[in-house]
Structure 1
């Protein structure tokens, strides 16, 4: 079929077509917004707003996130975010997506060459290897599950660290790259992007064992010691550097405040549940129709649950295939691919994380399956030479593959649309993962932003039933009750949100914003200062605090001006204006004293009594507030604001 074309022309044309189609499929994702961890690593992270301090990214993990608990050491990610922010001139997600997608396209090219080399290591000369490699890479490029990683800006840590692992392996394979240890450099970049880059070490070990020092497998009893020493010499530099970097990053560069391990579950329960998670990931690889931005998989008890047992059997079966295929040269790409899959899953499978599973984590592990499965299909067809040379069979295989790629392209295009907005993404999560309290809450937030308070409250309450002690959910309940003017419930939930949370500045910030909206500047400042104690780089708290200070300074100037006016012209209007300025500044005692001064001159002023009532209410002196508003209404029975403040006082007196 391809006898008239050289191998080089085939893959150049093929790669060009693959990159073009991939770009078309992802054309609708570039405007997708920030989500999840993008907020604390990008939107609320002051560190990325300037490249002047870029060297600090490599020495201070605090620059990675505005949240102390999330400060991983990932300087390359922070640097990339800062570069994109500078190029975009602000928080324009489109430029972040351009940058991420560019590296994704480059990864496709490099992964082709790696796959081709792996296949050629198994069968040195075969005219179909380039075609099989191109088919494998097309599958990788269009696979619907990868859309979860490419659409999620913060997941650039997964895609770029994977890129570094692939390039490092290619540099090791290349004689020049191996001689000058160039692969060590890209390996370090991968580790600085995400700690999963450390997995390059065991992947390289498997590669050397299967494709270079395979004599250890084939002739284990002959000169075993010499073979093992030769293997250790090859892997030695990588082993020493990855281990040293991991320890140094983990224990010296990662802040004490970072909380990445979930100590609420036992390691055994977490690891045993991962047997089911592996089965879930394999299911998404085969048929990615239930992808969720936030899966609701929970710890499974007991360990002999059928889901765990079934998952364990699948893992054991794949392990058996991995070992069996390692024994025969032409089958080793299958063994290597399965090993890659399991090795890449180690970081999220052995260390208990707060999210039991996440579909964007599969970007790195799936590389192994994209190498193994196409080769398995090719070897199976090749085994029956009559089938291989049958044009009908070849055409059928090509048609099935084409249909599969069209379905993946369509699925990816649709997932891009799901990631198009907060509302569409979280609505999808509530359908796919109905037991996920965060998904329910975030969909409620999307409705809150649209002003649908009752729908928002409905989803918040659903989430609250699933997780009654969820700090940010209580804060959001405070926000929605505040907007519904149910201030008692709002205060209750804001304060419980703060009490449940010890690391995030969000509960204090949102409570301060609520207080600021109600004119309580002084307590708002107090909570903003607490938020900034937790996270000095929290931009929203800084901006609101600066705004309050500015308004307070302006109020002080206005107060001084009004005081001078009153000395010259002690009118009721000037007194009332002064009392309002004191009220906005949270100086309620001065509101009362100013109104008393006014009443000495104008004893029947309803506005003075009403302002005194509001000030007493703020001080929770409900009986005095009630008495003041009654006086205001005796003077002006139709004064609506006084009626509202009277009811405020009356309701709280009844509660007492």
Structure 2
């Protein structure tokens, strides 16, 4: 039976079987919607709506996202999103999923080729090599944790950059690809997909050390200089280009508005917490029953907390195992796999990110474990002389593992099928995650269940009192329940809490439009576009209301009617501002004089009067009005500004 594994036809048959099983278990995921970062990179990103200027993706990182703080230099992702948008003719997630899944299937085949090659050059070439390689490949294809990446459209940056790294290594291994440096091309594409693509360089370095220049490990003392020179010569092309490209991308192509590093925690606090996070990831690899789309792991203090120390002990143990197995050629697939795992984890372990852990980050690191663990397990069973004796049991257990993971994939696909199922799962798995509680509240609000929505929003507020998105949603909720005062309070908080996202201005503008305050809404929409020029929703809404004189007239008429029914100072002040917005400065002056008859010490009326006189170039009258405002309140900054405007022109 095992001889058949040497047959190329049988090899293709097994690979097609694995591909077929993968398609079957993932068949329900193609209609899953956009989530998380899909919003600002796809749904609200004007840049992907045309391929006409696709070369801009490679020169302007602003095209990556509608959120200035989230603009990374990932032109390949923007290009693929634009291609999928074009093919779909709009925002249809199915087309994005088809594209992502196609490359996932390609990666499955390439993982097999790489795994088999690693095993074969270990001098452990025997009848079990095919079985082990197929097991590792099937495990990778069906592993439940990988569903977190495949179901999440924006995580295509993880899956595609991983594909580029595997292709690059295979191209280096192939004589033609090495001779013509083709592996450098795919490495560059990988870095353009996600900056973690630069980790191909250390992975390649470990591969060369373990499988090509192993004499550096076994006989380091002889001809040391020539061996090191030969080694450095092999790794130099990838190292020079990878590091140079990474630095150039990071410091010259990444916008200054990008805010990817969490400065609220110290680097060491973050790094020491990653020791425990590594245990979390290893746990999900072994038994992925607690996967969460948005984990609630937080910084662990002090750094010597038992969780961190336990994680550190496990890491040190794996490092010791990696080093010990590196000296024995037959065991080097284990060493290489462990090294791959830690190299792939390194970028998210040393740079403090806002999310301490995320289960879709393991897609790239786990490949190392899929190489090391099956190989090491078979060697152990052989050493204990258990494999031949219990071959049927081992195969049966393997099949059960695949089925269990396949069922897990189906379950996670169901979780990702709608906002309600996803965020309910997050609240169950990660109850201390304020964002998860808020988003589950949003699913209640979408159904008109404001009571439960407010319940979850308030739970989230205790955990995230300064989260601007939460205050936006509270503003929307209170607006929906006709509590205008509370709505404005939360919208204003959101506006004050965030200086880079266009969402606070956009959502407040929607509220203002509903209140028929069109001119003010235009102002906030312009602010949103100023923050993010490719925020498509703000542009569309502004185009809808901008320049519509009927809207302006309706707003002013409504205010005039309010004054008739309620002769309040607030209504008069608001009316004077609206007249100012439409440049009817005579009406501003007339309205302000009415206000001053009702309240002779109203500083806002004097200030608005000053601004109107200034616009009419009646500088002396403007100066007089602003001076009266400052006599009442010497710290009134707007009046100071308008007074300076008047006096500067008088002095001219």
TM-score by length of 2: 0.86
Distance in 1 of aligned mates of 2:273 and 2:304: 10
Q: How does 1:259-270 map to 2 (within 5 A)?
A: 259-270=259-270
1:123: how far off?
2.2
Number of residue-to-residue matches in the alignment: 578
| 8 Å Cα contact 2:423/2:440 also seen in 1 | yes
| 8 Å Cα contact 2:296/2:431 also seen in 1 | yes
Partner of residue 510 from structure 2, selected from 508, 513, 523: 513
Structure 1 residue 127 and structure 2 residue 127: aligned? yes
Distance in 1 of aligned mates of 2:559 and 2:106: 67
Q: Which residue of 2 aligns with 1:646?
A: none
Q: Which residue of 2 aligns with 1:428?
A: 425
Q: Which residue of 2 aligns with 1:458?
A: 455
Structure 1 residue 585 and structure 2 residue 540: aligned? no
Provide the secondary structure at the position in 2 that maps to 1:220. coil
Distance in 2 of aligned mates of 1:113 and 1:149: 22
Alpha-carbon displacement from aligned partner over 1:504-531 (angstroms, at most 9, x marks no partner): 0101110110111111111111111111
Q: Which residue of 2 aligns with 1:55?
A: 55
Q: Which residue of 2 aligns with 1:401?
A: 398
Distance in 1 of aligned mates of 2:115 and 2:388: 24
1:591: how far off?
4.7
Q: Which residue of 2 aligns with 1:484?
A: 481
| 8 Å Cα contact 1:522/1:586 also seen in 2 | no
Provide the secondary structure at the position in 2 that maps to 1:388. coil
1:543: how far off?
1.1
* Structure 1, 469-478 or 33-42: larger mean CA deviation: 469-478
Distance in 1 of aligned mates of 2:2 and 2:324: 33
1:589: how far off?
6.0
Distance in 1 of aligned mates of 2:503 and 2:455: 22
1:43: how far off?
0.3
Provide the secondary structure at the position in 1 that maps to 2:2. coil
Distance in 2 of aligned mates of 1:371 and 1:2: 20
Q: CA 1:368/1:451 → structure 2, altered by over 3 Å: closer, same or farther?
A: same
Distance in 2 of aligned mates of 1:82 and 1:228: 45
Distance in 2 of aligned mates of 1:89 and 1:422: 23
Structure 1 segments of 4+ aligned residues over 6 angstroms from their partners: 611-615
Q: Which residue of 2 aligns with 1:173?
A: 173
Q: CA 1:611/1:86 → structure 2, altered by over 3 Å: closer, same or farther?
A: farther
Distance in 1 of aligned mates of 2:227 and 2:349: 32
| 8 Å Cα contact 2:475/2:490 also seen in 1 | yes
Distance in 1 of aligned mates of 2:263 and 2:4: 62
Q: Which residue of 2 aligns with 1:523?
A: 520
Provide the secondary structure at the position in 2 that maps to 1:66. coil
Q: Which residue of 2 aligns with 1:388?
A: 387
Q: Which residue of 2 aligns with 1:295?
A: 295
Structure 1 residue 159 and structure 2 residue 156: aligned? no
Distance in 2 of aligned mates of 1:590 and 1:488: 21
Distance in 2 of aligned mates of 1:119 and 1:548: 65
| 8 Å Cα contact 2:560/2:575 also seen in 1 | no
Q: CA 1:4/1:539 → structure 2, altered by over 3 Å: closer, same or farther?
A: closer
Q: Which residue of 2 aligns with 1:372?
A: 372
Q: CA 1:7/1:530 → structure 2, altered by over 3 Å: closer, same or farther?
A: same
Distance in 2 of aligned mates of 1:23 and 1:102: 10
1:130: how far off?
1.2
Provide the secondary structure at the position in 2 that maps to 1:309. helix
RMSD: 1.8
Q: How does 1:338-377 map to 2 (within 5 A)?
A: 338-377=338-377
Q: Where does the alignment leave 5 or more consecutive residues of structure 1 unmatched?
A: 557-581, 596-608, 626-656
| 8 Å Cα contact 1:426/1:443 also seen in 2 | yes
Provide the secondary structure at the position in 2 that maps to 1:26. helix
Q: Which residue of 2 aligns with 1:498?
A: 495
Distance in 1 of aligned mates of 2:95 and 2:573: 47
